[in-house]
Structure 1
Amino acid sequence: MAQASGWIKRGLQIGSGLLLALMTLAIVALLYLGIPQNAAGMAAKGVCSAAFVAGRPWQKMLADDVLPASPVLSLISIAVDENARSVTARFAGLFARQAVLMPHRGCVLNVTPTSASRAAAKSAKPDADKPWPQGEAALPVAQWSPGVDALALQKTVDEAFAGAGDPNAANARGVAIIHKGRLLVLRTAPGFSSQTPLHGWSMTKTVTGMLMHKLAADTHLSLDSPVVDAFPPAREPTWVAPWRTDGRKRIKVSDLLYMRDGLASTEDYQPWGSVPHMLWGQPNNVAAFAAASAAQAPPGARWRYLSATANLLSGVARGRFTRDADYWAYPAHALFEPIGATSAVLETDTDGNWVGSSYLWASAGDWGRLGQLMLNDGRWGDTQVLPPGWLQRAARQSTAQGEGRGYSAQTWRIGDPVAGECRGRGLPADTLSMSGHWGQVVAMVPSRAAVIVRLGWTFKRGQFDACAFIADILKTLPK
């Protein structure tokens, strides 16, 4: 009996030891993969941006936007400091990351709150009662162009908001329909106003392309020059020197613009994947992270969609300024303010680079303004905000064949009849789009003088079909 008891005791000890060893290995694996740091970084930045950029109740944003995104995020706790405009997120109570609202930079990870961050304020909002684009008001139906099927258009928009507020449904948050430069419809979901900035995710890439197009003209940079030659010595980041020693020295700025740099990057969204590491990992320098990838294919020969490439473009743009403060202020001064997009905020990483792949916030009406600016080839009223030629650049295919034919300058060629994402779905061949994670889209259709905006938070891909939505809207507009 005593011998049996000893065996049981030793078995329990061995079992406890194995359990402890497995738990230790699991913790080490989590740390090695960076999951706690990435998860806390995502939560801190997301809640900070929702609270202090978008002005939403952070508790609701945490419940609706962050926690349903991944089971890993259930281990996150949040503390908000309203005075410092900061958010601290902790993973399992142990791994903390902080994000702080900064002037011209949005919410930034791993910076110290200052008096400047507490004083940061958004620009004056446009008059909600004035007609768009001077204000935010849509035209009354009686003033719509002849040929618009008002009943069908309103029905399609109504259907787009089915399940709004439900994370398990399509969960639309904003829709804007613009025809011939006039806003026919602007609708937002309950809890969102016409002036609430909404996260565009990868729609940001197209705006980064617009900024690069303008900056190249402003600073006399040839887009066909090698990336390694795009920096004055005083503004050259440390990642440029290694590029000069290998095949990366042949990568042109235009290769970044058209996503054909040939780098061995990946677009991996798992909690331990490359994109979470780039956006929320430590250290938080999206350009340096992207630049660390080795050369894999000759520049210009291969197209590959990569958030890392957009952030390299942000790094190049930064080098064209003598001061970071001017770089951070440039999106507002050069692009957003001239078109009245006063809600728009392009956020930066800790090091100071625009997160040009993913972090632009703007209201549905302001996303519509950006789309209309593209449709106008950079002209806004009497002002040429972007140098002429942007629309042509954005419509030019990245590669003659293959998937790259469906892409252009940080913009999707979704109507391309051969490689467009919406080929065969009834869209005109000239349809372009900004497209973003979880169902964000701004479609621009030059042949129909139309801009179609839809923003939401659609976790389940099958709940929203962007191609069908755009096609259904176009059916209601005169040809």
Structure 2
Amino acid sequence: MKTIKRFFLLVLTIFLAVILYNYPKLNIIAGYSAKNTASSVFVADRSLTFTDVNDNAFSPINLAKDEVNSNEKSAISSVFGLLTRTAFNREGLGSVLALDKDDINKTYLKPKRTQPNTTTPFPYGNLEPKDSVFTTIGYKTLDSTFDVLFDSINKTRAALVIYKDHIVAERYAEGFTKKSKILGWSMTKSITSTLFGILQTQGKINVQDKAPIEEWKNDERSNITIHNLLQMNSGLAWVEDYNTISDVSKMLFLERDMTQQQIDKSFAGKPNETWNYSSGTTNLLSGILRQQFKTHQEYLDFWYTALIDKIGMNSMLIETDLAGNYVGSSYGWATPRDWAKLGLLYLKNGTWKGEQLFTKEWVDYATTPTPNSDGWYGAQIWLNAGNRYPDVPKNMYFFSGYQGQNVYILPDEELVIVRMGLTKNADVNEFIKGVLSSIK
């Protein structure tokens, strides 16, 4: 009998040890599932079933069990009943994970939005685009190029090609339409960067100035510039690993104020010499943007009035953290057509309907390779300067996000190409090569 008791005690001890060791991971798993479920259901208008079967169906997130409370617009996720996380939706601000029980009942400021232009065709308005046929385009070739993206392996949700302001090809997976909002993940970083370009053009900021971070003023980090942050070349430590409990997973799923975590980091290298991809840096930049305005309401409004609604990306919503900061690293939702408009704005060197939001000089700056990035990164924008895609022009640049969210800009060809996916393994080189071959 004593032997049996000791055996069960040992088993119980091992079980508890395993739980304690993995408990932080359970927190992240439940947090991801709750946040993603709330956003999918209440921002993108998808069903809980669709979300679980598609967006949350990968390991280890599929360990979580999700429920939705439609009355309070919340999602609850539990992992084996051991740990539960709740995310809730706020009008105009999107979904966020609760950290205290009172968070869901608080009042939050929301941005003021403008009404969509429903009298002008795409891209300058939200009416259907005018029919157009280019004799120089092989439409059958173009259509077959899309086939490689829409299979069970690549899991593409939407793709479109815009040539000379006209949509010349467009396709959606089952369950998605031209009105479906899709999370751009790190494509949102390019939105954050663009806002600095707008402020620079307005003469309200100089990205070469030192970063206005009080905590850095009296130590060696005082020489870090906004430019260093935009290029992710500050030299500050940061671990961007979504498969472990890392800096980025703790920031996205455990922090009330996501602008602070990068501030607390020390040097792991030197400014302008150590390129290191960091979502924490982008959210720090969101915090720096917040400093440019006298009130929080002005900060909330600026993202939309100066850029998003200005160019008719009316479907877009940038989610905020609990402290009211836009999560500029990761949480931008919009239809594929609206994501394409941001690409078109860059293709037009910052001019939209005759108004210059930012300059050609800003485009050149944002697409200049960061030192030590192998020609792969600019100012929160990805590049092909290092010829990563050998059959694609070197001056192509693009916005890029987790799981294969991409907007490609090819300035010489007057092309904007959008691919929104659930996997990142699409052959980008072959896909864009195929698009180019169809346009003579």
Give the structure-2-normalised TM-score: 0.92
CA contact (8 A) 1:219 1:320 kept: no
More helix by proportion, 1 or 2? Answer: 1
For residues 29-44 of structure 1, the aligned pairs below 5 Å read 29-31=21-23, 34-44=24-34
What is the alpha-carbon distance in structure 1 between the residues aligned to residue 208 and residue 48 of structure 2? 44
User: Structure 2 matches for 1:253-264, cutoff 5 A?
Assistant: 253-264=226-237
Please state how far the C-alpha of 1:296 moved relative to its aligned partner.
1.9
Q: Which residue of 2 aligns with 1:185?
A: 169
Match of 1:47?
37
What is the match of residue 403 of structure 1?
373
Shift of 1:148: 1.0
1:82/1:116 CA distance change after superposition, 3 Å: farther
Q: Secondary structure at the match of 1:11?
A: helix
The answer as to whether partners of 1:139 and 1:185 remain within 8 angstroms in 2 is no
Q: Residue 216 of structure 1 contacts residue 223 of structure 1 at CA under 8 Å; is this kept in 2? A: yes
Answer whether contact 1:200 1:361 (CA < 8 A) is retained. Answer: yes
| Conserved? CA contact 2:30–2:77, under 8 Å | yes
Residue 178 of structure 1 contacts residue 185 of structure 1 at CA under 8 Å; is this kept in 2?
yes
Give aligned-pair identity as a percent: 28
Residues 129 and 224 of structure 1: CA distance in aligned 2, closer, same or farther (over 3 Å): closer
Q: Distance in 2 between matches of 1:186 and 1:331?
A: 28
Unaligned runs of 5+ in 2: none
Which amino acid in structure 2 is aligned with residue 75 of structure 1? L
User: Please, which moves more after superposition, 38-47 or 112-121?
Assistant: 112-121
Residues 58-77 of structure 1: matches in 2 within 5 Å?
A: 58-68=48-58, 70-71=59-60, 73-77=61-65
Using the alignment, how far apart are the partners of 1:56 and 1:219 within structure 2?
Answer: 42
Q: 1:342 to 1:306 in 2, by over 3 A?
A: same
Q: How much does 1:134 deviate?
A: 2.1
Residues 226-375 of structure 1: pairs in structure 2 closer than 5 A: 226-227=210-211, 230=212, 240-281=213-254, 283-375=255-347
Cα distance in 1 between the residues matched to 2:218 and 2:35: 36
The count of aligned residue pairs is 437
Equivalent position of 1:210 in the other structure: 194
Paired residue for 1:104?
Answer: 92
Matched position secondary structure for 1:291? coil
Q: Is the 8 A contact 1:303 1:398 kept in 2?
A: yes
- Would the aligned equivalents of 2:113 and 2:305 in 1 still touch at CA under 8 Å? no
Task: Report the alpha carbon displacement of residue 436 of structure 1 after superposing the two structures with TM.
Answer: 1.2
> What are the ranges of 5 or more consecutive residues in structure 1 without an aligned counterpart?
1-8, 164-168, 231-239
Kindly provide the amino acid, as one letter, of the partner of residue 134 in structure 2.
Answer: S
Deviation at 1:66, TM superposition (A): 1.1
Mapped to 2, the partners of 1:95 and 1:214 lie a distance apart of 43
Which string of whole-angstrom CA distances, capped at 9 and with x for unpartnered residues, describes residues 53-76 of structure 1? 1111122112211132x23x2332
2:427 paired residue number: 465
Deviations 1:119-152 (A, max 9, x none): 9998766659945442353554xx2333111110
Look up the SS of the partner of 1:67 in the other structure. coil
Q: What is the match of residue 171 of structure 1?
A: 155
Task: Map 1:132-151; keep pairs closer than 5 Å.
Answer: 132-135=123-126, 137-138=128-129, 140=131, 143-151=132-140
- The residue that corresponds to 1:15 in the other structure is 7
Q: Hey, what does 1:166 align to over in structure 2?
A: none
Tell me which residue corresponds to 1:237: none
SS at match of 2:267: coil
Match of 1:225 among 190, 197, 209: 209
For 1:119 and 1:56, how far apart are their aligned partners in 2? 23
The one-letter amino acid paired with 2:6 is I
CA distance, structure 2, for counterparts of residue 333 and residue 120 of structure 1: 9
Give 1:336's aligned amino acid: I
Of 446, 466, 473, the residue aligned with 2:411 is: 446
User: Does the CA-based 8 Å contact 1:278-1:290 persist in structure 2?
Assistant: no
What residue in structure 2 maps to residue 197 of structure 1? Answer: 181
In structure 2, how many angstroms separate the alpha carbons of the residues matched to 1:193 and 1:330? 29
Larger CA Rg, structure 1 vs 2: 1
